Amino acid sequence: MHFTVTDGDTVFVSNLKKQVWGNLSKRYQSDEIRSFLEEATALDPRFKQKMDDNAAVWDRIKGKFLAKNLTDSEKLKC
């Protein structure tokens, strides 16, 4: 992990890593926000390879897509 303090880090870098990690670890704790960010990352072509092995994220995306399409097709029938 990028924010793990290593033996080669200076005191400044070590403190910076601890403070940044402390700040970031308090954010994005909501499951809803985390799911949104995972799905956005999976759909972003720049990061597509990072999410290739995460079937749960792709299953959520497919489920939302199918649910949206079913809702839209039901509206067209009316």
Task: Please count the structural domains in the chain.
Answer: 1
> Is residue 24 situated within a structural domain?
no
Angle between helices 31-43 and 55-77 (to 10 degrees): 90
Given this model, what pLDDT does residue 54 score?
85
Q: What is the pLDDT of residues 6-61, one digit of tens each?
A: 999 999 999 999 999 999 888 888 899 989 999 999 999 998 787 777 899 999 99
Q: How many CB atoms lie within 10 A of CB 38?
A: 17
Note the pTM of the prediction, 2 decimals.
Answer: 0.59
> Is residue 60 situated within a structural domain?
yes
Confidence band for 62, pLDDT divided at 50, 70 and 90: very high
CA distances from 23 to 3, 14, 32, 76 (A): 11, 14, 19, 47
Given this model, what pLDDT does residue 78 score?
59
Q: Which residues contact 28 (CB under 8 A, 6 or more apart)?
A: 34, 37
Q: What residue numbers bound the domain in which 61 lies?
A: 29-77
The whole-angstrom distance between residue 33's C-alpha and the CA centroid of its chain comes to: 8
Element spanning 62, H or E: helix 55-77
